[in-house]
Amino acid sequence: MAGDIESLKQRVDGLDVWDHILEASKTGFSAVDQELVPLFKWYGIYAQKPKEEGFFMMRIKVPGGQLTSKQIYKLSDLGKRYARGVIDITTRQAVQMHWLRIEDIPVIVSELQDVQMDVVGGCGDVTRNVTGCPLAGLIEDEIFDASKELLEIDGFMTRNRDFSNLPRKYKMSVTGCSHWCSQPDINCVSLVAVHHPETNQKGFALKVGGGLSTKPIIAKNFPVFINREQAKDVITAVTTVYRDNGFRDKRHKARIKFLVEDWGVEKFLEETEKVLGYELERVSLLRIMVTGAEEYFPSPKESHGDHLGITKLKNGNYAVGIAFVSGRTYLPDLDNVAKLAEEFSLTNEVRTTNKQNLILVNVPESKLEDCLKKAVEYGLKVEYSAFTKLGVACTGTEFCNLAIVETKARAKELFNYLDAEFPDFREELMISVTGCPNNCAQYSIADIGLVGCKVKDELSGEMQDAFRIFLGGRLADEAQFGKPLDGRFLHKEIHLTLKNLFNFYKRNRTNGEEFRHFIDRLGIEKIQQELNA
Asked if 413 and 431 count as a contact pair (C-beta separation under 8 A), the reply is: no
CA 177 to chain centroid = 16
Cis bond leading into 63, ω under 30°?
no
Tell how strand 172-175 and strand 189-195 pair up.
parallel
First to last CA, the chain: 44
Asked whether this chain's domains 147-295 and 310-384 adopt the same fold, the reply is: no
H or E segment at 223?
strand 220-226
Residue 327, CA distances (Å) to 51, 94, 352, 358 in order: 24, 10, 10, 9
Give the chain's largest Cα–Cα span: 70
Q: How far apart are CA 55 and CA 28, in angstroms?
A: 11
Q: Please list, residue by residue across 208-231, b when 16 or more beta carbons sit within 10 angstroms of its beta carbon and e when fewer do.
A: bbbbbbeebbbbbbbbbbbebebb
Q: How far apart are CA 449 and CA 434, in angstroms?
A: 8
Q: How far apart are CA 121 and CA 164, in angstroms?
A: 9
- The amino acid occupying position 315 is N
Asked if 237 and 276 count as a contact pair (C-beta separation under 8 A), the reply is: yes
Q: How far apart are CA 429 and CA 434, in angstroms?
A: 16
Q: How many CA atoms lie within 13 A of 268 on its CB side?
A: 30
Asked if 272 and 234 count as a contact pair (C-beta separation under 8 A), the reply is: yes
Nearest Cα to 431, choosing from 384, 374, 478, 473?
473
Residue 379, Cβ density class (10 Å: 0-12 exposed, 13-18 middle, ≥19 buried): exposed
pLDDT per residue as tens, the chain (533 positions) = 566 899 999 999 999 999 999 999 999 999 999 999 999 999 999 999 999 999 999 999 999 999 999 999 999 999 999 999 999 999 999 999 999 999 999 999 999 999 999 999 999 999 999 999 999 999 999 999 999 999 999 999 999 999 999 999 999 999 999 999 999 999 999 999 999 888 889 999 999 999 999 999 999 999 999 999 999 999 999 999 999 999 999 999 999 999 999 999 999 999 999 999 999 999 864 433 333 444 555 678 777 878 999 999 999 999 999 999 999 999 999 999 999 999 999 999 999 999 999 999 999 999 999 999 999 999 999 998 889 889 999 999 999 999 999 999 999 999 999 999 999 998 889 999 999 999 999 999 999 999 999 998 877 888 999 999 999 999 988 899 999 999 999 999 999 999 999 999 999 999 889 999 999 999 999 999 998 88
Q: How far apart are CA 482 and CA 73, in angstroms?
A: 39
User: 147-295 in CATH: which number?
Assistant: 3.30.413.10
Nearest Cα to 431, choosing from 506, 381, 494?
494
Nearest Cα to 10, choosing from 128, 158, 156, 164?
164
Classify domain 310-384 at the CATH superfamily level.
Sulfite Reductase Hemoprotein;Domain 2 (3.90.480.10)
- In CATH terms, the fold of domain 2-114 is Sulfite Reductase Hemoprotein; domain 2 (3.90.480)
The pLDDT score that the predictor gives to residue 298 is 65
- The amino acid occupying position 515 is F
Q: How far apart are CA 413 and CA 102, in angstroms?
A: 33
Phi/psi zone of residue 105: left (φ > 0), alpha (ψ -120 to 50 degrees), beta?
alpha
The residues, any chain, with a CB within 8 Å of residue 136's CB and separated by 6 or more, are 64, 66, 142, 145, 146, 147, 150, 175, 176, 177
Nearest Cα to 87, choosing from 64, 477, 79?
79
Q: How far apart are CA 119 and CA 113, in angstroms?
A: 9
Asked if 360 and 404 count as a contact pair (C-beta separation under 8 A), the reply is: no
Pick the CATH number of 389-532 from 3.40.50.300, 2.60.200.30, 3.90.550.10, 3.30.413.10: 3.30.413.10
Q: How far apart are CA 243 and CA 167, in angstroms?
A: 6
* DSSP at 353: -
Domain map (residue ranges) of the chain: 2-114, 147-295, 310-384, 389-532
The pLDDT score that the predictor gives to residue 285 is 46
Nearest Cα to 347, choosing from 324, 317, 373?
317
Nearest Cα to 443, choosing from 465, 467, 463, 422?
467
